[in-house]
Chain A
Amino acid sequence: MSAVTGVPSLEVRDAAVNLGGVKALDGVSLTVQEGRLYGLAGPNGSGKSTLLAAISRLLDLTSGSILVGGADVMRRSPFEVARMGLARTFQTVRLMPQFSVLENAMLGADQPVYGSSFVRQWLMPWWTRSREASVRARAEAALERLHLMDLRDEPPLSLSYGVQRKVEIARALAAEPRLLLLDEPTAGMNRAERDEIGELLLRLRNEGVTQVLVEHDLKMMVDICDHLYVLDSGHLIASARPAECIREPKVVEAYLGRGRRAAA
């Protein structure tokens, strides 16, 4: 599906973010190669979500730069980065309560299929008919992958939190992204749902979708990721294959605190 071009899908160079005097990110540099599944780990408040927000341009870097597919995106808007093939899920689910599960998933496919001409979308129903059909097809394919087709007409707020999270993932998949950022996709899910998501992410990886996964479930990250980056207090403290990564003293210390290395 994806040719290996040699250009990294994503490059973060010396990124820093100051939020009201707090250094949420400080000198973080990392590279994400095409078609692989990366894990972004670290304790609470280590800057994982901040980094994802910066990559999707919802948050400005104080200094440093971010390249998507080799292009500097620091002067681009979030919607422009999205149009470059980047999709993301949010740590807190963002679903439209007045729309069905299917329509929520369709939102993800709208822009890639319809394009941006407002007047045509607004006043030319005959022009949009075939596009609406292909948006629906994409959304249904995404729901199918998450086994949500039975719930497609339900209002999202009537569903359990774990299922709402799956709808959130389906919306991102409906965009058929090349680079997918997942912010704690399995938070609030039970074991079976987590395993299902883990398998799905692996399949996506095998189809060539580049992914950056933020998770609290370290075991899941070790199981499925190609590479782990670990953040602590805004610093990148480790970058290695998962199995090696979790043995690094700095990582153990970050997760368990000082003086607990022996226990780990």
Chain B
Amino acid sequence: MNSWYFSHLTLIQGMLISVPLALSVQIALRSGVFSFASIGFYGVGAYGTGILTMRGWPVLPAMLLMIVVSGLVAYLMSAPLIRLRGLYLGMVTFAFDLILTVVATNGGELTGGALGLLGVPLGIGTGGLLAAALVAILAVSQLERRAVGRALVGIKASEELVMSVGVDLKSRKRTVFAISAALGALSGSLYVLTFSTVQPTSAGFTLIITTLTMAVIGGTSSWIGAVIGTVIITWLPTLAATIGEYQHLVYGVVLVLVVMYAPEGVLGALRWLWRRLAPRLRPARPPALVPSGGPPPDRGAAARAEPVPADRVKG
């Protein structure tokens, strides 16, 4: 176990770092906001935290600053962006990521040009990465529950519906945008503090594809899907070492297949299986006590229903 852990440490760390990033894309897609902006903020987080810690900042304040700043910038940026729909928003945020790549390349001494930052002090252990991933999971899972969860899923079903039930749609979308950016910045900070280096290409096209694949393969309907996708995409290359340089080709093909045949991702497939198998796995249940596995019908609501008023005489 121990030797396995150390020989796979880089993969384990990479996986933990990817969790917040995959979540950042998943939460956006789940809320019908087709945005890759969080990948750009991954770069902002990585460069920002790297530059600050190289100038003597302690790790935690540097990280927190970059996360908060990214969230705020994204919130301000989102005002014009959320007017864009679907693919157009995707394209604009895609361009935003590529612009940041150019900025990092031409940032002179501050960003280290095309070579990027080298020798950022290592500032976090695997335990810290795990803690950060868990915090991200907790934050995102709470977005899926209760009124917030219903409103965000509602956005994807119908924006008019969500507005008509009194949800401030623009504010919700902007908040999701900000949270997504903050998660991206968190992931980037973790990356630079773990591997002590970041290049302009780190937050480029390849990362967009990889992260999108993680979110979509796992299934965007829940944070669980993003975690499943992260695990799969992290370990797939080691399981199939022969893929090698064709890795991204395989991602592309897998992405197309998933979108065509399992749009709900692995999570959706598992749910489908569970619905199929669950009734067969518990045949020993005494019959007819609780129909179809649901909770017993609520008698309280029936008791609460008001007495029937006399109907108006038709006139």
Contacts and interface: CB of A to CB of B under 8 A. Distances in A.
Contacts of B150: 96, 99, 103, 106-107, 110
A207 B309 contact: yes
A149 B148 contact: no
Secondary structure of the A side of the interface? Answer: helix
A165 B66 CA distance: 48
B163 A203 contact: no
A132 B146 contact: yes
A223 interface: yes
Interface string A193-232: 0000001001101110000000000000001100000000
B147 interface: yes
Given A96-B150, A141-B304, A78 B164 contact: yes
Contacts of A135: 147
Interface size class of A (residues with CB under 8 A): 35 or more
Contacts of B147: 110-111, 113-114, 121, 128, 131-132, 135
A171 interface: yes
Contact of B308 (A128, A175, A203): A203
A95 B157 contact: yes
Interface size class of B (residues with CB under 8 A): 35 or more
Nearest to A96: B157
Contact of A56 (B164, B175, B302): B164
B158 interface: yes
Contacts of B160: 58, 78, 90, 94
Contact of A128 (B146, B168, B301): B146
Contacts of B309: 203, 206-207
B169 A79 contact: yes
Given A82-B165, A207-B309, A140 B301 contact: yes
A58 B312 CA distance: 33
Interface in A104-137: 106-108, 110-114, 116, 118, 121-123, 125, 128, 131-132, 135, 137
Contacts of A113: 147
A244 B163 CA distance: 37
Interface in B289-303: 292, 294-295, 297-298, 300-302
Contacts of B305: 141, 144-145
A203 B307 CA distance: 11
A151 to B, nearest CB: 10
List 5 A-B pairs, minimum CB-CB distance, nearest first: A111-B166, A82-B166, A78-B163, A140-B301, A110-B147
Given A95-B157, A207-B309, 18 more contacts: A58-B163, A79-B169, A83-B166, A94-B157, A98-B153, A107-B161, A107-B165, A110-B147, A110-B166, A116-B171, A121-B147, A122-B143, A123-B139, A131-B147, A149-B302, A175-B165, A224-B314, A243-B315
Interface of B: 139, 142-143, 145-148, 150-151, 153-154, 157-158, 160-161, 163-169, 171-172, 175, 221, 292, 294-295, 297-298, 300-302, 304-306, 308-312, 314-315
25 contacts: A58-B160, A58-B164, A79-B167, A79-B168, A90-B164, A96-B153, A98-B221, A99-B153, A103-B150, A107-B150, A110-B167, A111-B147, A121-B146, A122-B139, A123-B139, A132-B146, A137-B301, A149-B297, A149-B298, A149-B301, A149-B302, A153-B292, A202-B311, A206-B311, A206-B312
